[in-house]
Structure 1
Amino acid sequence: MENSVSEAKDIITSYHGPNLRIMEVCGTHTHEIFRLGIRKLLPESIRLISGPGCPVCVTPVGYIDEAILLALKHHAVICTFGDLIRVPGSEMSLAGARQQGAEIKMVYSPLDSEEYAKEHPEKNVVFLAVGFETTTPAACLAVKKARKDGLQNYSLLVANKTMPNAYLALKDSADAFLYPGHVNAIAGTAVCEELVKKGISGVVTGFTAGELLTALAVILKLSASGKPFFRNCYPRVVRPDGNPAAQAVMREVMEPCDTEWRGLGIIRGSGLRLREPYHSFDARLRYALPKITGHSSLLCRCGEVLQGKCRPNDCKVFGTGCTPQHPIGACMVSNEGACSAYYQYGGTENG
């Protein structure tokens, strides 16, 4: 089904069907829907829920604690994407560890961290590998390059995740998903088609106003049947087979495992870890890290936000005790976080 922007807008604004909960899984979708004013078009019967598609937001507190331990006790240089630096751990953030003398380096790609380790053989370098199918192939390539370059001072602290089992865990939280276009550009559409067989509906879409409006209109039209469905509304980027080369390097370097998601707990088979031939690049094994169970602030409701159980502005400290300048939770830190979007755009239920 294809609609012009005006047709899609008409379908949305004239909707008079039953209440629907639509989860925009991708944090970029959340921000764009706010920025474009799409929430203001929605009737009261349509509720948009911000899901766990922000990799920084779903990374558990214990992971931050592991990174701080590597930095302060083992004196490793921590290379990371910028958002993770300010995410609170149990006692402090990586920014706080930096104030205590830790060497924390922001990079734009895992390959940047590998190059830094190559240029500084006297330093032990750890890259914080977080993210979904979109960013995982680059981390795998960095590990392969490190092995090729014979690096002995480079490793990954792995917290990469895959989305399919998260959708199953959130099955009862939404009536349909807006699937993340970037993830499906790598993974393809077969996974979403399989989810239909398990009663899960969704549409994969891009990030323009036309693409988002069309996807929402498609969900409203197809929901009327009462049957599970899937549509690819991002065919210019998402192909049925995804990116086979990226999938191949992920299979070569990493394997599935159970892993913890902030707010969702342990989701079986949703994590990734380095395969045995690459164990020498596993920071947990190299530094014999203990099992760390972190704890977030009792004031933080990020876990409930990520499950769709509450909106960011339902939180008592939202916009007062918790702001982008002084975040209490990860969802306020990340540029893709739901709390950040609500704060930036003054979000209400549909505004």
Structure 2
Amino acid sequence: MSKLNPSAKKALAIIRNYQGPKIRIMEVCGTHTHEIFRLGIRSILPDAIELISGPGCPVCVTPVSFIDEAILLAKKGVRIFTFGDLVRVPGTDGSLADARSRGARVNIVYSPLDAVSYAKDHPEEEIAFLAVGFETTTPISCLAVKRAAALGLQNFSLLTANKTMPAAYLAMSKYTDAYLYPGHVCAITGTKLPSELTKQGISGVVTGFTISELLTALAVIIEKAQQKKPFFVNCYPRVVREEGNPAACALIRHYMEPCDSEWRGLGLLKNSGLQLREAFARFDARRRYALPALHGHANPACRCGEILQGLKKPADCPLFGRTCTPEHPVGACMVSHEGACSAYYLYDGRQAFTKQK
């Protein structure tokens, strides 16, 4: 850290010299978790500063039942399009990768617009895109519906598991003293929500992903926490603005509406999900294929739910580093490249596992 700029050096000094009461800081964003590990920031934190990993990414909080729904669609002959991380997330009886090995048609894409293009070129096939994501990636799923409607496609739909962060912030606030709010999400939603959450006693800062931005954010939390009152600070002003991205928010509002949604580890959170509005019901895979309500069952030994709440560290899980590895993941937190278990295993977990033994 010898090449830090003056402001980052000042932040580093504040962090290293802190000797006050314990402060628990939750990284809501998985990219923050990975960057903090990669940059070596955890190694310089005093014992009184504890970083805990929260939801991380949409893949981590997607419930088992969603994977079961996707596999059921594949069994009905629907070609599934999905982001890569989701393919290996375990459902009740295996993953989409397992289903593909048994003949299911599962395509990995970088954008739902790729699925729309395929549907246009293959009108004889039924196509469903697995729409997972927070406010950051939901707009592109809405654009996919917009394009499918413009093309008059009759064979394209979304299986939605899109989620919004406000209810999760409230649900997890009892586990943390302050949030590192996700920079990408706040770039879309703006700073109004975290500012208003201070009225409910919830503190945090939004920050970027460079070492200077992360150190500054942690130093701000340390200094503000000592004032003993709720706070919010935008430490990512070059990207995050008060109004967020109005066009992206308007797109979401036009095509989707709030619904109750299940989060792995957090349970059912009211109005925390998004579903297609009635006007676009023909693109809703659950309605199109009359999917029954499914109740998935995760591996009972997996501790992903507790890890996502910050109640346990990945190394506390009896499966971590033993039967659950990036090559053979048991839980979503190890599958996702932004998951806490993946980060701990990649940067620190093997050492933690060795210490356990």
Shorter chain as normaliser: what TM range?
over 0.9
Q: How does 1:286-297 map to 2 (within 5 A)?
A: 286-297=288-299
Partner Cα distance (1:317, 1:268) in 2 = 31
How large is the Cα RMSD of the aligned pairs? 1.1
Aligned to 1:44: 47
Q: How does 1:300-319 map to 2 (within 5 A)?
A: 300-319=302-321
Q: Does 2:258 correspond to 1:248?
A: no
Structure 2 letter corresponding to 1:87: V
Deviations for 1:287-330, whole angstroms, at most 9, x for unmatched residues?
Answer: 00000000011110000000111000011110111000011100
1:5–1:213 contact (8 Å) kept in structure 2:
yes
1:59 to 46, 62, 65: 62
Aligned to 1:213: 215
Task: State the identity as a percent.
Answer: 66
Aligned to 2:355: none
Aligned to 2:101: 99
Aligned to 1:109: 111
Structure 2 letter corresponding to 1:315: C
TM, length-normalised to structure 1:
0.98
Aligned to 1:322: 324
2:326–2:342 contact (8 Å) kept in structure 1:
yes
How many residue pairs were aligned? 347
Partner Cα distance (2:6, 2:127) in 1 = 50
Instruction: Give the match's secondary structure for 1:341.
Output: helix
Instruction: Give the match's secondary structure for 1:259.
Output: strand
Aligned to 2:74: 71
1:199 to 201, 215, 220: 201
Structure 1 letter corresponding to 2:185: V
Aligned to 2:282: 280
Partner Cα distance (2:6, 2:281) in 1 = 49
1:136–1:160 contact (8 Å) kept in structure 2:
yes
Instruction: Give the match's secondary structure for 1:170.
Output: helix
Compute the displacement of 1:13 (Å).
Answer: 0.4
TM, length-normalised to structure 2:
0.96
Aligned to 1:145: 147
Structure 1 letter corresponding to 2:207: T
1:24 to 24, 27, 38: 27
Partner Cα distance (2:181, 2:262) in 1 = 21
Structure 1 letter corresponding to 2:114: D
1:50–1:338 contact (8 Å) kept in structure 2:
yes
Partner Cα distance (1:320, 1:6) in 2 = 39
Compute the displacement of 1:3 (Å).
Answer: 7.2
Structure 2 letter corresponding to 1:48: L
Structure 2 letter corresponding to 1:32: E
Structure 2 letter corresponding to 1:29: H
Structure 1 letter corresponding to 2:236: Y
Deviates more, 1:340-349 or 1:10-19: 340-349
Partner Cα distance (1:3, 1:186) in 2 = 30
Deviations for 1:233-285, whole angstroms, at most 9, x for unmatched residues?
Answer: 00000010000000000000000111000010001111000001100000000
Structure 1 letter corresponding to 2:211: A
Deviations for 1:112-132, whole angstroms, at most 9, x for unmatched residues?
Answer: 111111111111000000010
Partner Cα distance (1:245, 1:326) in 2 = 40
Structure 1 letter corresponding to 2:34: H
Deviations for 1:75-114, whole angstroms, at most 9, x for unmatched residues?
Answer: 1110000000000000010000001100000010111111
Structure 2 letter corresponding to 1:4: S
Compute the displacement of 1:55 (Å).
Answer: 0.6
1:20–1:175 contact (8 Å) kept in structure 2:
yes
Partner Cα distance (2:173, 2:346) in 1 = 29
2:56–2:340 contact (8 Å) kept in structure 1:
no
1:3–1:214 contact (8 Å) kept in structure 2:
no
Instruction: Give the match's secondary structure for 1:4.
Output: helix
Instruction: Give the match's secondary structure for 1:200.
Output: coil
Structure 1 letter corresponding to 2:95: S
2:269 to 263, 267, 270: 267
Structure 2 letter corresponding to 1:7: K
Structure 1 letter corresponding to 2:339: G
Partner Cα distance (1:245, 1:316) in 2 = 45
Compute the displacement of 1:346 (Å).
Answer: 1.5
Compute the displacement of 1:53 (Å).
Answer: 2.9
Instruction: Give the match's secondary structure for 1:326.
Output: coil
Structure 1 letter corresponding to 2:134: F
1:166 to 144, 165, 168: 168
1:127 to 126, 129, 146: 129
Compute the displacement of 1:204 (Å).
Answer: 0.2
Deviations for 1:219-240, whole angstroms, at most 9, x for unmatched residues?
Answer: 0000001100000000000010
